[in-house]
């Protein structure tokens, strides 16, 4: 299992998705409204006085669900290393979930908070983690297809 390169790629993808729980994706600093951190766990208001109405956990729930689903599916793909076709299907599903997550972050959430706070986003380390996960899933997909082609060619020789 671990000797296959796609397992390493999938493990890096899982680590990137798990690190997304700890690192914020964007910071919004305003003199008037205070400082906000956008992460998968929610939009956090860092100043202790009267947070605005749009700061809550439910606002980023789709990102949280997509990230948890991506982690679970990718770990499942690591565990079924003997079934390459099923592994390939799970990697493709996780790839799709990561694409949706990236689209949500870049197209909706950052623009939404910028519009409400009237402050441009300052990107943090967490913004790159879904991209790292996406690249690792593409590499794993390529390696699984290569393994499948190798097994098929060996079956033809018998």
Q: Which residues pair with 27 in a beta bridge?
A: 37, 122
Q: 3-state class of 10 per DSSP?
A: helix
Provide the whole-model pTM: 0.84
Q: How far apart are CA 143 and CA 149, in angstroms?
A: 10
pLDDT tens readout for residues 100-112: 999 988 888 888 7
What digits encode the pLDDT tens for the residues 9-25?
999 999 999 999 999 88
E strand or H helix at 17: helix 5-19
- pLDDT band at 56; cut points 50, 70, 90: low
């Amino acid at each position: 299992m671990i000797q296959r390169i796609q397992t390493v790629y999938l493990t890096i993808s899982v680590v990137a998705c798990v690190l997304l729980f700890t690192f914020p994706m964007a910071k919004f600093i305003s003199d008037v409204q205070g400082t906000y951190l956008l992460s998968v766990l929610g939009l956090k208001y860092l100043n202790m006085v009267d947070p605005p109405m749009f700061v809550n956990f439910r606002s980023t729930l789709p990102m949280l669900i997509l990230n948890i689903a991506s982690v679970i599916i990718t770990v499942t793909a690591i565990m079924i290393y003997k079934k390459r076709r099923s592994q390939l299907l799970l990697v493709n599903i996780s790839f799709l979930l990561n694409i949706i997550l990236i689209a949500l972050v870049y197209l909706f959430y950052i623009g939404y908070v910028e519009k409400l706070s009237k402050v441009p986003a300052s990107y943090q380390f967490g913004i790159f983690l879904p991209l790292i996960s996406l690249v690792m899933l593409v590499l794993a997909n390529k390696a699984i297809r290569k393994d499948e082609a190798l097994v098929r060619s060996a079956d033809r020789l018998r």
